[in-house]
Amino acid sequence: MSPDASLLGPGTPPLADLLQHAFDSRVVRELPGDPDERNVVREVRGASWTRVVPSPVRAPRLLAWSDELGERLGIARPPVADAPAVQVLAGNALVPGMTPFAARYGGHQFGNWAGQLGDGRAITLGEVRARDGQPWELQLKGAGRTPYSRHADGRAVLRSSLREFLCSEAMHALGVPTTRALSLVATGEPVVRDMFYDGNPQAEPGAIVCRAAPSFLRFGNFEIHAAHGEDALLRTLAEHVIAHHYPELDRAAPQRHADWFAAVARRTARMVAEWMRVGFVHGVMNTDNMSILGLTIDYGPYGWLEDYDPGWTPNTTDAAGRRYCFGNQPQIALWNLARLAGALRGLVGDDAALQRGLEEYRETFRHEYLRLHAAKLGLASLGRDGDEALLGELFTLLAAAETDLTLFFRGLARLVAAPARDESALLGPLRAAFYDAGGPSEAHGRELLGWLRRYLARAAADDGDAATRRERMDRVNPLYVPRNWLAQQAIDAATEGDLSVLERLLAVLRRPYDERAGDEAFAARRPEWARHRPGCSALSCSS
Ligand code: AMP
Ligand code: MG
């Protein structure tokens, strides 16, 4: 249902077809572009972006649309799967004012400088003005080759595109800073991928996601300029980002670049603390996948923790080193910020100030993590003696026996609201969280009970009644998250032409905190069949 425009306030533009919108691009207007417009793979120098048009696809069809984001941007859902707007969302047509480009960036991949990367398959179409007046970039992922495609084809497969579409929107509903997704379009063309890297490439259906964000700039956009001594470009890029995306900063202050770096650090800290709250594992935290706005970006082989295991990484390429496992994410973000700081040294000219920015990351992360985890436990804060130890002991216990992170915290809220008088029944609300059908072993159960007793005593020492506590917990502990196997079921159905599974899942994930009768299946533990199935337990980068 579209809300009446008048409900959004006077002057709010009504929803309009994508073709009716005016487009602009602050990147194109303000940042130096590549004078060379040849769309051939090459090293680009002295520019922040390269003009490139999407490569047409054979038979585009709209598979999914985000009404929520469409409402925000003022873009109406295309009325039919092959509407004219879908041609634009597939890269077959442009709207006047669009100046499509691929951004130039580099990055540190798995700890090493990788040189030029850039938008190898993502093409930004331009900016549309949202109904609140804010400009948002629309970008097609999988829109064909660019000068940054290296050896790859510029395309994306349906499975990974559907996963990006679904997870961006789910993350937004969870309250995690993220880029968004407006549409998922099938290209009608096959894409060949060696999903298992075992020399057996297969043709898979191709797709394009239209992503949206205030900006898709990454740490790597700064790193590439620094790597080539492009000091003026680096400065221009920084001023652009500060002016448009960090309005809270004083642009006249002499130390504004250092202030800005600290602000990037704080936003990054808040983002990662949110990942830890909901159990999200990005999977490829290379510096080219770190948004300069502190948004979750580039959904690839990401995953959701089901049984709590801080060493888990969904990315098969990362299986040996586990660099990007759940528990490492806070450290890796700091490492990435240190690479950004390295790129900004010349601009800031004050290493101590950059060091303080990194310190702000540590402090902000710690503060946010404790704040969010206090809320997860229904406590006003984790500031009392012994509180942090209590939290640490809980995670040791969760890791000791396969325990579903999401279901545990929801169960804990029920338990704390109405603890059973009888010890043997105390664990009742937590039963659904144990992967072993028999429940916890006797020894583990005893330890857990010991922890629960201490926790209940601690909770009782806080002000507030049990019902309020539960309500507070249920607002930060989601019940419905895009579990890997749920996404896989939507992929399997969509591959067969059935989009109802995706639509239903998306509707459930739009309201992740309210328990609803009829949606139990979406809050279930990972079923046994999904334990080792590719796409459910481990994901390859081939997308
Ligand atoms: P990612 O690991 O997905 O963040 O990608 C790393 C780099 O590889 C980026 O420069 C991407 O644009 C590029 N890339 C990934 N997949 C493709 C593809 N199919 N075609 C062209 N470039 C790609
Ligand atoms: Mg990337």
Q: Is 313 a pocket residue for ligand 1 (Cβ < 6 Å)?
A: no
pLDDT, one tens digit for every residue, the chain (543 residues): 444 444 567 788 899 999 999 999 999 999 999 999 999 999 999 999 999 999 999 999 999 999 999 999 999 999 999 999 999 999 999 999 999 999 999 999 999 999 999 999 999 999 999 999 999 999 999 999 999 999 999 999 999 999 999 999 999 999 999 999 999 999 999 999 998 888 899 999 999 999 999 999 999 999 999 999 999 999 999 999 999 999 999 999 999 999 999 999 999 999 999 999 999 999 999 999 999 999 999 999 999 999 999 999 999 999 999 999 999 999 999 999 999 999 999 999 999 999 999 999 999 999 999 999 999 999 999 999 999 999 999 999 999 999 999 999 999 999 998 888 888 889 999 999 999 988 899 999 999 999 999 999 999 999 888 888 999 999 999 999 999 999 999 999 999 999 999 999 999 999 999 999 999 999 999 999 998 888 888 888 888
Helix (H, G, I), strand (E, B) or coil at 192: strand
Provide the pLDDT for residue 72.
98
Provide the pLDDT for residue 7.
57
Contacts of 155 (CB under 8 A, 6+ apart): 121, 142, 144, 187, 189, 191, 206
Q: Is 51 a pocket residue for ligand 1 (Cβ < 6 Å)?
A: no
Count the helix, strand and coil residues of the chain and give each as a percent rounded to the nearest 5: 45, 15, 40
Q: Is 121 a pocket residue for ligand 1 (Cβ < 6 Å)?
A: yes
Contact 430, 456 (CB under 8 A): no
Is this structure's pTM higher than 0.85? yes
Instruction: Choose the residue to mutate in 155, 288, 291, 316 for probing ligand 1, maximizing ligand atoms within 8 Å of C-beta.
Output: 288
Provide the pLDDT for residue 8.
67
**Does the annotation mark 288 as catalytic?**
yes
Q: Which is it for the CA torsion 417, 420, 424, 425, positive or negative?
A: negative
Contact 527, 489 (CB under 8 A): no
User: What separation in Å is there between the alpha carbon of 380 and the centre of ligand 2?
Assistant: 38
Among residues 426, 430, 422, the alpha carbon closest in space to that of 456 is found at 426
Q: In a 10 Å sphere around its CB, with 0-12 CB exposed, 13-18 middle and 19+ buried, how is residue 399 labelled?
A: middle
Q: How far from the centroid of its chain's Cα atoms is residue 447's Cα? A: 35
Q: Is 144 a pocket residue for ligand 1 (Cβ < 6 Å)?
A: no
User: What separation in Å is there between the alpha carbon of 506 and the centre of ligand 2?
Assistant: 24
Distances (CA, A) of 381 to 376, 385, 443, 509: 10, 11, 30, 28
Provide the pLDDT for residue 9.
73
User: What separation in Å is there between the alpha carbon of 71 and the centre of ligand 2?
Assistant: 27
Q: Is 284 a pocket residue for ligand 1 (Cβ < 6 Å)?
A: yes
Instruction: Choose the residue to mutate in 108, 113, 117, 164 for probing ligand 1, maximizing ligand atoms within 8 Å of C-beta.
Output: 117
